[in-house]
Amino acid sequence: MARGVLYVRSLYPGDIDVQEKKFFEMAVDGSLGVILVNRHIVALSINDFRNGIEIVNEGERRVPKLKVQITTIDQNLSLFDGSPDRLLCLLDYTRLDYRHGRAFSEILIAFEIAETETIGDKELEFHNAVLEKFIRLYRHVSRDVSILMPDRLLRDKPISMVSAIPYSKEELQISVKERLRQPRALQFGVKRLDFTEFAKYLPKTNSEPEANTLAIEARLSTGLPCDESYDGLLRAFEELAVNENPKWALLDAFMVLELAAARFINEAKIAKGVSKKKLEEFHRDIGISYMLNVDLPLFLFPLSEKERQTIQEADAVRRTRNKVVHAGGVVSKEEALHAINAASNLLDLLKSRPASPETNSASGGL
């Protein structure tokens, strides 16, 4: 067995604003890793709307080639950010093709491995833990939320390149910290490449244009809005479908329905003569359970069976949310999806129904 050090190189999306070649020591589960930002790089990104890739036969080989060779842009607008050396983009206004720079940070992570000839998932999992810890720490101290956490990278997932170096006898006599910081000549090879990353840029394979078109037409025919109050539901569904985090999906959906219920009830009370000052004075005394089980049935009286069920499903989301927040409960994908649908149905109900005039009180404010 050849004990040694594994270097993992990746190009991380964004400009991680720390000094280059500055080592940071990160301990994970009792093991030490060192991480540094080796270089800040601006890559050229090209959007060429008249181009494409075609496969051509060259003897027995099938070779991918560009349909149109990339050349300089003849008719262009050069856009700068205010300084002459920071080009934002080149825009070809005859075709609307454009080329622009994108910031990346070259990250190196080094840590010890027991066998330099065998690199498996265990080693890459340690690398991922060190990277996540570093990015979280950087985001916290810098408040630079333009740098996304590794599990939030929906595009440009870093390609892992590795170089394994066995220790010499002399290196085994010095400390782990010193060994990991030794200058070395490194030759990297690609260890892991997720090809599904590139599929995200192509047209959908499970396309449903007819169903989506009909759904839009059906929604428009109801006259119900789909305004910014629904945006939270999209964030919740993104947590579920993209980030695979049912807990946050449910919590986001709950916040949507809680806000919608509180806003509807406050507007209904103001319309019936309650002053805004009184509502602000007592709003902390009225919980979401009271709003769903008392206020909404009162202001929406009379309720159809379907509308009553909509409120009951929203109340079920409240109970699940309490289980998660107060008892550390686990949320299933089914529970999260139910919460999103329940919040959507409640929003639709409150958008479609004015407060019932039968609850009118005597004229005059409180």
Helices and strands in the chain: count of H runs, count of E runs: 11, 10
Residue 181, CB half-sphere, CA atoms under 13 Å: how many?
10
pLDDT score, position 276: 84
> Under 8 Å CB-to-CB from 311, ≥6 apart: which residues?
292, 293, 296, 297, 300, 303, 346, 349
- For 48-71, b where at least 16 C-beta lie within 10 A, e where not — what string? beeeeeeeeeeeeeeeeeeeeeee
103: three-class secondary structure by DSSP: strand
Higher pLDDT, 364 or 45: 45
Could you tell me the two tokens for 93? 């206004």
Distances (CA, A) of 65 to 46, 54, 56, 69, 200: 16, 6, 7, 9, 21
Task: Give the burial class of 238: count Cβ atoms within 10 A of its Cβ; 0-12 exposed, 13-18 middle, 19 or more buried.
Answer: middle
Residues 25-44: tens digit of each pLDDT = 999 999 999 999 999 999 88
Distances (CA, A) of 167 to 39, 174, 288: 26, 11, 62
Question: Among residues 194, 220, 243, 240, which one has the least CA distance to residue 332?
Answer: 240
Domain layout of the chain by residue ranges: 4-199, 221-359
Residues 35-87: tens digit of each pLDDT = 999 999 998 888 888 888 899 999 889 999 988 887 666 666 777 777 777 77
Q: Which amino acid is at 361?
A: S
pLDDT score, position 308: 95
What does DSSP assign to residue 230? G
pLDDT score, position 89: 81
Residues 175-194: tens digit of each pLDDT = 988 889 888 888 888 876 66
pTM of the model as a whole: 0.68
Q: Which amino acid is at 199?
A: A
Evaluate whether 111 touches 1 at the Cβ level (below 8 Å). Answer: no
The stretch 324-329 carries a mean pLDDT of 88
Evaluate whether 147 touches 40 at the Cβ level (below 8 Å). Answer: no
The stretch 333-346 carries a mean pLDDT of 95
pLDDT score, position 196: 67
Distances (CA, A) of 200 to 155, 173, 197, 204: 8, 48, 6, 8
pLDDT score, position 119: 82
- The share of the chain scoring above pLDDT 70, in percent, equals 92
* Confidence class for position 225, pLDDT limits 50, 70, 90: confident
pLDDT score, position 197: 63
CATH top-level class of 221-359: mainly alpha
Rg (CA), the chain: 28
> Under 8 Å CB-to-CB from 125, ≥6 apart: which residues?
none
Distance linking the first and last C-alpha atoms of the chain: 82
pLDDT score, position 333: 94
Residue 355 confidence (pLDDT) above 80: no
The stretch 98-120 carries a mean pLDDT of 89
**Cα(183)–Cα(178) distance, rounded to whole angstroms?**
10
* Confidence class for position 357, pLDDT limits 50, 70, 90: low
pLDDT score, position 293: 94
pLDDT score, position 194: 64
Mean pLDDT over each residue of the chain, to the nearest integer: 86
- Helical spans, DSSP H, in 97-200: 121-142, 176-180, 196-199
